Amino acid sequence: MSTSSLPTPPRAKRVEHVREFHGDRVVDPYEWLRDKDDPEVIAHLEAENAYTTARTEHLEGLRGAIYDEMVARVQQTDLGVPVQHAGWWYYTRIAEGEQYTRECRVAARPELPHGGRPALEGGQPPEGEQILVDGNVLGAGQEFFALGGSETTHDGTRLAYAVDLAGDERYALTVTDLGSDATRTGPVGDVVDQSVTDIGYGLAFSLDGRFVFYTRWTESWRQHQVWRHEVGRPSDEDVLVHEEPDELYWVGVGSSRDDRWIIIVTASKTTSEVRLLDAADPTGEPRLVAPRREGVEYDVEPAGDRLFIVHNAADVDYELAVAPIDSTDPADWVNVLGPTPGERIVGCDAFDDFAVVSLRSGGLAGLRVIDLTATLPGSPVGRVRELAWHEPLYTLSTGNNPDPASTSVQVVVESFVTPRSVYDVDLSDLATTGVGEWTLLKQQQVLGGVDLTRYVQRREWATAPDGTLVPVSIVHRQGVEPDGTAPGLLYGYGSYEHCLDPWFSVLRLSLLDRGFVHAVAHVRGGGEMGRRWYDSGKLLAKRNTFTDFIAAADLLVEQGWVAPDRLAAEGASAGGLLMGAVANLAPDRFRAIHAGVPFVDALNTILRPELPLTVGEWEEWGNPIEDPEVYAYMRGYTPYENIAQRRYPAILASTSLNDTRVFYVEPAKWVAALRDSVVDDPDRPVLLKTEMVAGHGGVSGRYESWKQAAFELAFLMDQVGVTA
């Protein structure tokens, strides 16, 4: 497309809006875009979409090729790994051409090998299948559909599930009676209750299935209440079980593994407390396990007559303790496992005979098993065993393990070159022979003749400006040499202690097969290297996140993995903040940037406590309302307010109109401001793409999400010179 024929980008009107804090007066001309009920705002977003379509129409063939590759590589008719619970095998299933999964079950048959576990081959429905929830039926005719969660009663006769039809993560509750007749097949479940709407995450049944517990939001989208609903009764009779008035804290609800306890968690970013309610006495009072102490976080896993507690009361990288099931005092906690240097204990799954501890070590996620059938001198538990994996980079985590009496544990393994693999690991003889056989239950199928041995993963270390070594994961096709010519894509996040552990991606294969080097920068602010790694990338140390990412980009170029003019970058949500920050700090390092649902107007958002998430976020970013130092620090890095008059990378900002976590207005304002300041370069467009019916995760439906991914990837490929 010649320069003369390029369409003219939309220009948002400028309306003076003044912000004044701590003696700083800022004129914000695009704040008017916040009102999505204003027809002029919608018209502007639609004009931006039209411009983006026009500027990317030449990529239709590339988008189609990427999409076709994804479709050809995915096992489209598939069945998830069945899990046995209360006499049934539960699993998910999806068929070719369908957008959504269905949740199903078949009766267990103890007289058959493995209890009659359904076969996984071909993804075909097993004999005797009962369909409990069919997303294709519920989502039929809807522009958006998401299942927020589902929960069955302890005896398997009742089901509760939550549905979102807008993308705003506010759900409507449905309860169905499933019965116990294993001879019924096809769709089952008579709707008995749909009276509860506008709920949050988390569902839990009482032990008898008479009551269901759920959460509610405040107007600023903070889960602050747990309610008890009697199935079949009007919702205005529901009873408030717990309420948290402090705006720093969120509330969640769930069930213990054995369904004996309703677990109510109240937590801020740095402090938590847990209440337990006997599921057999659902109208009783929840019991506080330990009162909140500022800066102390703890999680509770009830198991038999004990509580397993992961906490940071004495160690920043957490310890595992045990206590009596009725404990209400942290003085009862007896520590049984602490981290070694460089480790971080993350969580615990406890069973009758063993406990599985999730941890981080050397920048990777791993598992450790504790024998509960015997004790060691001076300890209430037995020997600790490692669950080891053989790749240099991997993610090792627990899968779906609902049975506390199980003698094995479901473990999930994946890496950049190993598809998601689900194993059953025998732990029946921990006290003597240790960890037993690993049995592969299912590995994600990659079709289309893909040879996964053609891909290589490695770990390198970039040096940040302060001398800190930052892990960088790299994957590429065999034969790609560090000769300084390859295109590259660098991905990052770096907030909330979230870890970008190695994951397998069919979409990534379309990059690698075109000669790309794909890298992930495990920057500070994430949790890959433990709690201190997170602490050194938040609050008044947030700039470390950005400079770590730039150091990773420099590493790729200096080692020759990527050509200096062929490096793209990508990040979403808080990773979108990272993208906006590095675009300002080092625009010459990147040829193109994709910022998904980006948190690029961070300061204005954190200055408005009435907005979703804001008050709870003060422990992540600081409180710029009360603290002038925080205000000045955020003012110095928030992307929207630090755009320079210079040439920038090509930028694609993607967002969703109904996103509750990061409002569409942030990228809309950012793009408008970029158009004012960025030195015009026809080859480096600044584009905004808004999904008009979607949420924080983008569009719904797997085929539609694949099309969205292909669109974003084609933009980056084109910018670094890969056009087919």
pLDDT one-digit tens code per residue, 334-375: 999 999 888 999 999 999 999 999 999 999 999 999 999 999
Catalytic annotation, pick one of 573, 654, 656, 700: 573
Nearest CA among 547, 447, 563 for reference residue 492: 547
Q: Give the 3-state secondary structure of residue 152.
A: strand
pLDDT, mean of residues 248-275:
97
For the chain, give the percent of residues with pLDDT over 90: 93
Q: Residue 24 in 3-state DSSP?
A: strand
> Across residues 39-64, what is the average pLDDT?
98
User: Span 702-718, mean pLDDT?
Assistant: 97
Task: Indicate whether 3 pLDDT > 80.
Answer: no
Given this model, what pLDDT does residue 399 score?
97
Name residue, tokens 């957490």: 318
**pLDDT above 70 for 2:** no
Domain positions in the chain are 3-72+454-719
So what's the pLDDT on residue 182? Answer: 86
How confident is the model over 109-159, as pLDDT tens digits? 988 888 889 887 778 899 999 999 999 999 999 999 999 989 999 999 999
| Mean pLDDT of all residues in 271-286 | 98
Choice among 44, 78, 696, 700 that is catalytic = 696
Q: What is the structure's pLDDT at 121?
A: 74
Burial class (CB in 10 A: 0-12, 13-18, 19+), 176: buried
pLDDT at residue 297 tops 90: yes
**Residue 113: predicted pLDDT:** 86
Least confident of 14-18, 107-111, 326-330, 496-500: 107-111
Task: Say which residue the tokens 């009072």 belong to.
Answer: 285
CA distance 76 to 134: 16
Catalytic one of 164, 317, 659, 718: 659
Three-state DSSP class for residue 649: coil
Confidence of residue 331 (pLDDT cuts 50, 70, 90): very high
Q: Which residues contact residue 75 at a Cβ distance below 8 angstroms, ignoring those fewer than 6 apart?
A: 123, 444, 445, 447
pLDDT at residue 226, as a whole number = 98
Tell me what pLDDT residue 112 has: 86
Q: Pick the range with the lowest mean pLDDT from 115-129, 247-261, 437-451, 542-556.
A: 115-129
pLDDT digits (tens, 9 = 90+) for 593-625: 999 999 999 999 999 999 987 999 999 999 999
Q: What is the pLDDT of residue 492?
A: 98
Q: What does the alpha-carbon distance between residue 695 and residue 168 come to, in Å, rounded to a whole number?
A: 6
Told to judge if 242 belongs to the known catalytic residues of this protein, a careful annotator would answer no
Q: What's the pLDDT score for residue 119?
A: 85
pLDDT grade for 650, boundaries at 50, 70 and 90: very high
**Rounded distance between C-alpha atoms, residue 616 and residue 598, angstroms:** 18
Query: Rounded to an integer, what distance in angstroms lies between the CA atom of residue 266 and that of residue 253?
Result: 9
573 is catalytic: yes
pLDDT at 473 over 80: yes
Question: pLDDT, tens digit, for every residue of 166-178?
Answer: 999 999 999 999 9
Task: For residue 617, give the DSSP letter.
Answer: H
Question: Mean pLDDT across the stretch 484-512?
Answer: 98
Q: Which residue has the higher pLDDT, 720 or 682?
A: 720
Average pLDDT of the chain is 96
CA distance linking residue 561 with residue 567, whole number of Å: 10
Residue pLDDT, tens place only, 396-447? 999 999 999 999 999 999 999 999 999 999 999 998 899 999 999 999 999 9
CA quadruple 622, 626, 629, 631: dihedral sign: positive
Task: pLDDT band for 4, please (50, 70, 90 cuts).
Answer: low
Grouping H, G, I as helix, E, B as strand and the rest as coil, residue 454 is helix
- Domain 3-72+454-719 classified CATH 3.40.50.1820? yes
Q: Which residues have C-beta within 8 Å of that of residue 416, sequence separation ≥ 6? A: 393, 455, 457, 473, 475, 502, 503, 504, 508, 518
Q: For residue 1, is pLDDT > 80?
A: no
Q: Are 602 and 610 in contact (CB under 8 A)?
A: no
pLDDT at 5: 78
Rounded to an integer, the average pLDDT of 301-316 is 97
Bridge pairing between strands 592-596 and 567-572: parallel
659 as an active site residue: the answer is yes
pLDDT (average), residues 309-319: 97
